[in-house]
């Protein structure tokens, strides 16, 4: 094949990765607190182009090659939905809940669908304990908790703790993991954030289903176009090889 395969292969790979991300976004359209992703690519020349001058047609053609750099997360606020459940909480504004596992590892989440574990600690559906503003798990007595916008928890009229709302200076260091959580892979210190806590609510996904579906259809056609280009290039190569074979004979 000729060097025209570089932009075709590169474009096809971009489209394929975009399809994977868009499909995952659509699959999580009803996931509490989910934030949609967008793939980010960077351009570079393949090693095969190094022997060409940078201003030659071959080099310019090869420079269309790109590779996946990262997935960028859109942290735009999702809509708040009333549930009527005492242990459902949503954040209105910037910030995350902090969840701690049994090994002391801390993760961030916008999913405030909590409960109370058998030892009386507020915990997520996955069993991670929710941290308070003092960075400690929150233990509450029996009774119906009432939580105000600042996260202060009262049971039977007595303040028993405050839901922690945290953020990091650079969110690019946050990496998605299972269970609708982020891990703070960059190790940025957690700082208090200013989001309001809304009891009896959950935050919906920020995926817009109609927009995501439209993008999925467009990228599918984009992928098919590059695939057809590769097929055409292959057919031309076969025809050329056949003609060369006739000349040799």
* pLDDT tens figures, 184-193: 988 889 999 9
Q: What average pLDDT does this structure show over 134-163?
A: 96
Report pTM: 0.77
Q: Which residue has the higher pLDDT, 164 or 65?
A: 164
Confidence category of residue 16, pLDDT binned at 50, 70, 90: confident
Domain ranges for the chain: 5-75+207-248, 80-203
Is residue 53 over pLDDT 80?
A: no
Reduced 3-state DSSP string for the chain: CCCCHHHHHHHHHHHHHHHHHHHHHHHCCCCCCCCCEEEEEEECCCHHHCCCCCCCHHHHHHCCCEEEEEEEECCCCCCEEECCCCCEEEEECCCEEEEECCCCCEEEECCCEEEECCCCEEEECCCCEEEECCCCECECCCCCEEECCCCEEEECCEEEEEECCEECCCHHHEEEECCCEEEECCCCCCEECCCEEEECEEECCCCCHHHHHHHHHHHHHHHHHHHHHHHHHHHHHHHHHHHHHHHHC
Is residue 245 over pLDDT 60?
A: no
């Amino acid at each position: 094949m000729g060097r025209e395969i570089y932009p075709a292969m590169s474009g096809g790979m971009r489209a394929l990765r975009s399809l994977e991300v868009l499909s995952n976004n659509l699959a999580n359209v009803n996931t509490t607190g989910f934030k949609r992703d967008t793939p980010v690519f960077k351009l570079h020349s393949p090693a095969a182009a190094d022997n060409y001058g940078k201003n030659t047609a071959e080099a310019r053609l090869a420079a269309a090659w790109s590779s996946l750099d990262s997935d960028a997360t859109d942290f735009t606020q999702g809509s708040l939905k009333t549930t009527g459940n005492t242990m459902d909480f949503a954040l209105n504004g910037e910030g995350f809940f902090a969840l701690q596992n049994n090994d002391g590892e801390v993760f961030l989440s916008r999913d405030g669908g909590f409960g109370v574990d058998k030892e009386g600690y507020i915990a997520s559906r996955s069993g991670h304990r929710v941290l308070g503003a003092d960075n400690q798990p929150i233990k509450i007595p029996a009774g119906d908790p009432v939580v105000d916008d600042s996260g202060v928890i009262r049971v039977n009229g007595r303040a028993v703790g405050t839901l922690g709302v945290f953020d990091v200076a650079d969110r690019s260091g946050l990496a998605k993991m299972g269970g609708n959580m982020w891990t703070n892979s960059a190790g940025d210190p957690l700082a208090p954030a200013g989001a309001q806590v809304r009891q009896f609510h959950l935050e919906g996904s920020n995926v817009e289903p109609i927009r995501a579906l439209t993008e999925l259809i467009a990228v599918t056609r984009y992928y098919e176009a590059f695939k057809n280009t590769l097929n055409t290039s292959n057919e031309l190569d076969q025809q050329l090889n056949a003609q060369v074979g006739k000349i040799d004979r």
